Structure formats: structure tokens, C-alpha cells
Structure 1
């Protein structure tokens, strides 16, 4: 049998240690917020891994504000993160995919707010496919001596202090950016910490993977159809999991594009700007990629509603520019 040599990093930094070492003024608070986030992520990691044994698979029998059937783990994950952010004392307000309105934490003097999708891809929970948590952290706009309002969350993606996701897959991985590159941290069960595993993720300028629900092909506009046909003539690989985090993560590392166009049924698109599209767009750009709604840079869009939706094209920059050219030449 061939011997396999295991290579390990020497004394990798935890998430809190990594960001505490940064020199920007908010580094100390940010490290504490990320510590709260990782504590919740560890609990969700356990929930996901023991879901079938614990009897928490399946739907709960209600719909969220999106009109989507809530899974038991959706609710559990939502509660985990709300509790962790509230207890941190540093988050004044939370916006979640699972809640119709904003969530006031009671920390009115706190300087930060969070938008999150607590469990992305939850339709895949019961079949053991990778799922994730997506989040954005912003500095609030209202004075800290006042009760925070929805306006504190309705900020363009360019205003994010941090954006990231937790991927619950073959390993549990935290990928995030604070505007200084993209880092990845892997959950080490033995150390019970998320430890730095990739200090600088860069995506490829050109990829060979396209990720799209081709079951809706006949509902796409001509520019999207033309791009998908181009991908096939170039013998690109079609890869679509149906969990946004998992599809995005694969393309981020290997080079590719994720497409979720508008359709007659969803003319504004289906993905949510604030807590799905913005954080991943922040990561994509910091890794050298692009994110657009087909015409506009995602991070420049000024949101007007908590659950605002948008068409979405994200990934390797040459591929995103190509689909934008085809969309605009129709």
C-alpha cells in the first residue's frame, strides 16, 4: 500500500486571532463578532451532521416570508445565529431570510448590523448535499443612541465591513473577506476552532464550468440562451448542485460562472440581494472575479427592501463579461 504523507500547517491562526492581528480600527470588534458567528456555526455543524439521528430532518409545516417551505434545520440555524449575535452585544439589528421584518437585538448602542441566510440550500438537507450559511456585516448608519431601523441594513454592498459564508460539506469551511483579500478557515474538530487553511483565495480569469438550472432554459432571455449554447460549443462542463454556496465555492476555486437569470415567473430574479448576492459578490471581487445583475455591478445596487431579489451572474471575470455582452446585444 502506498504511504500518504499528511501535510499540516504549523500553528494556524483561528478566525479571531487572524482578524485581531489586523490594524484597522474595527479589527477588535470584528474579531469578536466573527467569534460569535463561528460559535453558532459549530453548533449548526453538529445539527447538520446529526440531523437524521436527532430527528430534525424534513419540513416543519410552515412557510417563510419568501413563500418557501421551512425545514426544521432552517429554523434551528436561524435561532442559533440570532442568539449568538445577540449575546455578542455588538450587533444592533439582524435581517434574516427566515423573518419577514428586522430583528432588534436590544443592543441599541452596538455599531454593527448583520444580514444573513442562516441555511442556504435547505431543500438539499434531506439528501445530504452540501448546504451553507451566508452573511454580511455592516456598520450601522443611525446614531448609536437611537433604536436601529431598517435603513441600517439597506446599504449598497460596497458598504460591507465583512461578507462570507460557512459551507457544511466534506469539511466545514468558513470563507470570508473584510476587503483585504479572501481567506478560508477550516473547522478542526480536535481543536474546536476554525483555523486558517487558505490565506489568499484567487479565482481564475477564465473557467470551464457553468452552473445554471437548465430546466428553466426555455424561460431564459435570448442572451442567456446564447451564452449557454456558447458554453456547450466550447465543451465547458455543466455543474449545478442547487445550493448557492456549494455552486459558488466550486467555481471560486476552479474557475467558472454561476447564472440565475430572471424569468417570466420571477422577473426580478429569485436570489436575495442583501444576504445572498452581496456577500458572495464581495468575496468574488476580492478574489478577482465579478458579479452583476446582467447590467449593473451587484455591489453598486442600492437596496430598497429587506428581501429584494435580483438576477445574478457571478464568477470568473472573462465569463461574466461574456454573458453581459450577450445580454446587452440582444
Structure 2
């Protein structure tokens, strides 16, 4: 369960998912941390009010992806033999013009029909399936190779799984800063009015053309 803690009279509010993909730890697969930064905004808050957002990936290399002022940058830990420092690896990351990958979480038999139909369409387009069980790892592949990722509305979970404050808003913020888009299927993720700190929303992010194609199915 999420909670809001007042730790003083500071200027910023921070949202944090400290261990995204926790089920991957046991099998030594990718997991990470997601964060968002608000300037003078009390929580819960709309994603459109984010000042910055980012995530860290603990994988073959420890990397940091950071978005602010409409730009996305990627850093790697330990460059040049200085293990405690982060070094700029990619500046001004943009989603590739043509998406190559897709991934969808949840159980296929519980996906709503529109999701099943869109996945079939992506497969006919010969897009490759990639799904690793951590939002940061799955989205990071979309950021680098282009495509579409979702944890969708399901028959048994119409509001999806990802928490708006801690997961969907920060990743959608990064997607938009990289030239992509994020939607709940009915509205832009960053425009969702928060109903509570643990509110969940269906989450669809990636190349803008693919997100728009999906929305037309709903």
C-alpha cells in the first residue's frame, strides 16, 4: 500500500516505487526503481504537474533514465572505472520512428477484446514480443527500439494493475518527453485526476502512432 509522508517543509514532493519487478529478484532478472518529482504540489497529483521523472534499472549494468524539460537522458554507473559515479550514455533520447517490439502484461484470457484484437494486429505487422515482468525493463526496450507496451484493462481487473502515482504517471511522462504517448484507453495518462494514492489505471505507452491506433479500437 502506498502512503504519503510529510518529512518537512521542503519544496518538492516525490513519488517512488522502490522495487519495480520485485518478482524478478529471485530469478536474477531485471528490476528497478521508478520515481517522479513534483514542485510545490501535494500528493496525490496529476501527472501533468510532474517536474521530472525517471527510473533506475539494476541489470547487466546499473542505468538511470531521467526526463525533464521535454528531454530524456540515460546514464550508466561506473564508467571510467569510477564505480560510484554516473556518466551520460545517451543524451536527448527519442523513440525510434518505427516501433519493433510489443509487450502486454496480465493474462491473455482476461484481456479485454480490444487488446486481443490489437495484439493480433501487431503480430500481423511482424512486431516482436518482449515481456520481462518489470515495467522499467519492458518500457526501456520500447524507449530504445520503439513499439507498444501495456498492462491493460482486464475482464477481472478493469482498472488495470499499475498505480497511477507511482508507476503510470512517471513512465508516461518519460514516454511523452521522448516523443511518444501514454493513455488509459480513454484519456491521456498525465491528465487523469487522482482519486487516491493507490489508484490504478489501464496503462498503454509507446510510439504515438501505435498508441493512437490502439485508442481507435476502443
Query: Which of 157, 175, 194 is the aligned partner of 2:86?
Result: 194
Shift of 1:182: 0.3
What's the counterpart of residue 254 of structure 1? 145
Query: Which of 42, 50, 63 is the aligned partner of 1:173?
Result: 63
Shift of 1:218: 2.1
Aligned length: 216
Query: Which of 93, 99, 120 is the aligned partner of 1:207?
Result: 99
Q: Which has the higher strand share?
A: 2
What's the counterpart of residue 32 of structure 2? 132
What's the counterpart of residue 29 of structure 1? none
Q: Is the 8 A contact 1:206 1:319 kept in 2?
A: no
1:262-294 C-alpha deviation (Å, 9 max, x unpaired)? 113212110010110111111100100010001
Cα root mean square deviation, aligned: 1.3
1:15-41 C-alpha deviation (Å, 9 max, x unpaired)? xxxxxxxxxxxxxxxxxxxxxxxxxxx
Distance 1:221 1:166 in 2: 31
Moved over 4 A (4+): none
Q: Is the radius of gyration larger for structure 1 or structure 2?
A: 1
Compute the TM-score of the two structures, normalised by the length of structure 2: 0.95
Shift of 1:101: 2.4
Unaligned runs of 5+ in 2: none
Shift of 1:256: 1.0
1:213-251 C-alpha deviation (Å, 9 max, x unpaired)? 3x6222222211110111111221111101110000011
Query: Which of 261, 270, 282 is the aligned partner of 2:173?
Result: 282
Q: Which has the higher helix share?
A: 1
What's the counterpart of residue 119 of structure 1? 19
What's the counterpart of residue 43 of structure 2? 153
Unaligned runs of 5+ in 1: 1-64, 66-99, 142-151
Which of 1 and 2 has higher RCO (CA within 8 Å, sep 6+)?
A: 2
Shift of 1:324: 0.9
Shift of 1:208: 2.0
Compute the TM-score of the two structures, normalised by the length of structure 1: 0.63
Asked if 1:267 corresponds to 2:169, the answer is no
1:138-197 C-alpha deviation (Å, 9 max, x unpaired)? 0124xxxxxxxxxx1122111111100001111111101112310111111632211111
1:91-138 C-alpha deviation (Å, 9 max, x unpaired)? xxxxxxxxx421222x2x211110110010000001010101000010
